[in-house]
Amino acid sequence: EAGVTQSPTHLIKTRGQQATLRCSPISGHTSVYWYQQALGLGLQFLLWYDEGEERNRGNFPPRFSGRQFPNYSSELNVNALELEDSALYLCASSSLIGLSEAFFGQGTRLTVV
Amino acid sequence: QKEVEQDPGPLSVPEGAIVSLNCTYSNSAFQYFMWYRQYSRKGPELLMYTYSSGNKEDGRFTAQVDKSSKYISLFIRDSQPSDSATYLCAMSNTGNQFYFGTGTSLTVIP
């Protein structure tokens, strides 16, 4: 069974541009979580989607947004990129509410220059 | 106060040693407890998952949860150089919103 897949693996953007990151959850998982992991820091919660709806968001500005598609895959969009947005962006998926741990993808390394 | 506290280390041990990694938490509603291993520049890999209190063993790894003390531990027996990684604890009260520690960096010296 395929795990959580993220694309692209690496992404280089210039300041002010927009970045789009994609995530495909494990088959059967309906929840998708996005985290930011800046160098030397822990995982910072960004967004949680379940059944196509945004359920919760972390303490990030509105230029961080996303969506979940009917097939449960998800996109994270970051507008007006800033240098400090450079980080590893991790997607995780989990199964039925209250019954499952979260599994992570390998991440997208975003570099803003 | 952070929801989850984890000593960032770094922790350095000789090969074969027993490693103890710990996290404390403040929310008594947490019921689901996880340990992840993250190699450099990779996504976290789920190592152990426990529900409520007690111990769980998987090979060289043992996870312990003490809800009365709000304290969880991961023990690694007969540590190997391949165990060198950052270890993240995570917990949840509903199973669908997760709180992570900042990670402990472990190096096992051959």
pLDDT level of residue A39 (50, 70, 90 thresholds): confident
Residue B97, pLDDT score = 74
A-B C-beta contacts closer than 8 Å: 56
Residue B51, pLDDT score = 85
pLDDT values of chain B reduced to their tens digit, one per residue, 110 residues: 678 999 888 999 999 999 999 999 999 999 889 999 999 888 899 899 888 888 999 999 999 999 999 999 999 999 999 999 999 999 888 756 788 898 999 999 99
* Tokens encoding B104: 């402990």
Which residues, at least 6 apart from A36, have a Cβ–Cβ distance to it below 8 Å?
A43, A44, A46, A60, A87, A88, A89, A90
- State mean pLDDT over A50-76: 94
Report in angstroms the alpha-carbon separations of A82 from A32, A78, A91.
24, 9, 21
B63 - beta bridge partners? B56, B74
Nearest CA of chain B to the CA of A88: how many Å?
Answer: 8
Between A97 and A46, where is the model more confident? A46
Give Cα A64 distance to the centre of its chain: 10
Contact B96 A101 (CB under 8 A): no
Instruction: Summarize pLDDT for A77-103 with one digit per residue, the tens.
Output: 999 999 999 999 999 998 865 445 788
- Separation between Cα atoms, residue B73 and residue B64, nearest integer Å: 5
Nearest CA in chain A to B88: A42
Contact B36 A48 (CB under 8 A): no
Mean pLDDT of chain A: 91
Residue A98, pLDDT score = 44
Instruction: Summarize pLDDT for A23-35 with one digit per residue, the tens.
Output: 999 998 999 999 9
Interface of A with B (CB under 8 A): 4, 6, 31, 33, 35, 41-43, 45, 48, 50, 55-56, 88, 90, 92, 94, 97-107, 109
